[in-house]
Amino acid sequence: MSAPPAVRALLACDLDGTLLTVAGVPALGIAEALEDLSARGARLVVCTGRPLHGAAKGVATLRADPIAYVCYHGALVVDAVTGEWLRHLTIPGDVVSGIVRDAPSLGLSVTLYVGDVRRELAPAASGAALELAAPAGITRVVLSGDPARCAAALPALAASRGPSIRLERAGGGTVAIVPASADKGEGLRLVATHLGVPLARVVACGDSAADDSLLRTAGVSIAVGDVPASLRAVAQLVVRQGGLAEALRRAVGSWG
């Protein structure tokens, strides 16, 4: 069996709305493009707000072979080949405890991601659940409930927890809380250093404001679809989702 080609470039791509459509299927031609480019040494780095197991499901849909994952918006960075966790940022335990304590009175349910394990909390059992979870550290907290009540409660909830967390709205009555220092761009920088690939040889693509730092970090930046003005301002190229496969091929092809 021939050895895999040397890693000569990285494709740092968001999943939902970028590689995957709103229906959860691969964008036009993207699975074929990723396979072809991987064979030429341009390897995929999945950069997503999803947990690791959720990112792996998306990759299976793409039939892709990533070399690394940047998950939870950068809180968890994993070498996909060795399985090594290169970075794992967590939310301070006292902050999580306060959120869990206050959530029921705000009409919000709580889901914890302990490392990469999902745990639903029943209000009466929250103390015990947190005690069991403590050794692994809490990577993400998801609050969900009635959209109106959730929207009304979040500003005070966030303000009372200080600068250690960041809120990521997931639509409707769902909000994800991640460590404030979680950052896709920093996660990508760590992966590039780990693999010895210069940032000039990295193509990044995304579709939302959460991908801002990702696009700023890469040598080539592509915004996908109907993007917010903030992302359009940092992207070197804006393409429709159906044109992303060709844009990636052209970017890697320009390096010879």
Q: What are 221-246's pLDDT values in tens digits?
A: 999 999 999 999 999 999 999 999 99
pTM of the predicted model, to two decimals? 0.92
At residue 147, the pLDDT reads 83
Which domains does the chain carry? 9-88+183-253 (3.40.50.1000), 93-179 (3.30.1240.10)
Looking at the DSSP assignment, which residues form a beta bridge with residue 20?
Answer: 16, 26
3-state secondary structure of 92: coil
Contact in structure between 75 and 48 (CB atoms under 8 Å): no
Tokens encoding 104: 């029921």
Contact in structure between 12 and 203 (CB atoms under 8 Å): yes
**How far, in Å, CA of 144 to CA of 37, rounded?**
39
Contact in structure between 210 and 73 (CB atoms under 8 Å): yes
Percentage of the chain lying above the pLDDT 70 cut: 90
